[in-house]
């Protein structure tokens, strides 16, 4: 018991204050004497609030796939060539409408996840074994009447050509396959390769580009 008591008595002792120049030794340890008041980190430089503001602004500029709007605009204006942002090998910008469509499927986490979930290396989403059946004309004609719009009405071809109808069904069908249920106001742009494939397969006289749910709501 006496050994335990002696170890406790000789342990280092620290009290709040600033270190003085006085230092002395005990039998088993050094002891420091503190004087005056000492504020933690008092000599450290203060962090600039502008750093946090920059991070917040950067987050606001990034879209759902982490791509900044200025970058998408530069792709749209051809300031950034296709070869620099398409890594899947299937993108084509000849039928794209609007800057938000200028994204590679490999920039969409959910698209690459379709491969990694099955233990495969990520590739162009067009090469996924589910893509061709899901965009088959016969399949889309059967799926279309099962889909409903925001008001609860079934998708119908009336007033539209068959290809216009199939485009709308394909966009909705593929978005659900990639992103799951999102709700009416939560929309996501598809990749450039998907837009190119669908618009080339189901050709129409005019093309309406991607618009977000908020943009659609403001138009009505």
| Alpha-carbon gap, residue 215 to 168, rounded angstroms | 17
Per-residue pLDDT of 121-150, as tens digits, reads 999 999 999 999 999 999 999 999 888 877
CA distances from 72 to 67, 87, 131, 134, 176 (A): 7, 15, 25, 28, 24
Domain count along the chain: 1
Per-residue pLDDT of 150-175, as tens digits, reads 777 788 777 889 999 999 999 999 99
List the beta bridge partners of residue 87: none
Per-residue pLDDT of 71-103, as tens digits, reads 999 999 999 999 999 999 999 999 999 999 999
- Residue in 126, 135, 78, 127 with CA at minimum distance from that of residue 102: 78
Residue 128 lies in a domain: yes
Residue 84 lies in a domain: yes
Q: Which pTM was predicted?
A: 0.70
pLDDT at 32: 39
Per-residue confidence band for 58, with pLDDT thresholds at 50, 70 and 90: low
Residue 148 lies in a domain: yes
Give me the domain span that covers residue 175: 69-219
């Amino acid at each position: 018991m006496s050994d335990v008591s002696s170890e406790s008595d000789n342990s280092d002792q620290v009290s709040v204050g600033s270190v003085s120049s006085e230092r002395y030794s005990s039998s088993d340890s050094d002891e420091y004497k503190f004087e005056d008041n000492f504020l933690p980190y008092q000599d450290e430089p203060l962090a600039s609030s502008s750093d946090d503001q920059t991070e917040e602004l950067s987050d606001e500029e990034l879209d759902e796939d982490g791509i900044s709007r200025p970058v998408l605009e530069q792709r749209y204006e051809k300031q950034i060539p296709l070869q620099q942002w398409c890594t899947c090998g299937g993108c084509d910008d000849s039928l794209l409408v609007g800057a938000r469509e200028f994204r590679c499927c490999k920039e969409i986490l959910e698209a690459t996840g379709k491969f990694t979930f099955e233990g495969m290396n990520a590739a162009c989403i067009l090469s996924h074994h589910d893509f061709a059946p899901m965009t088959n004309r016969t399949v889309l004609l059967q799926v279309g009447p099962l889909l409903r719009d925001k008001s609860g009405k079934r998708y119908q071809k009336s007033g539209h050509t068959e290809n216009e109808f199939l485009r709308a069904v394909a966009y909705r069908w593929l978005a659900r396959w990639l992103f799951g249920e999102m709700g009416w106001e939560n929309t996501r742009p598809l990749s450039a390769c998907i837009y190119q494939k669908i618009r080339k397969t189901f050709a129409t006289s005019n093309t309406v580009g991607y618009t977000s749910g908020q943009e659609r709501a403001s138009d009505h």
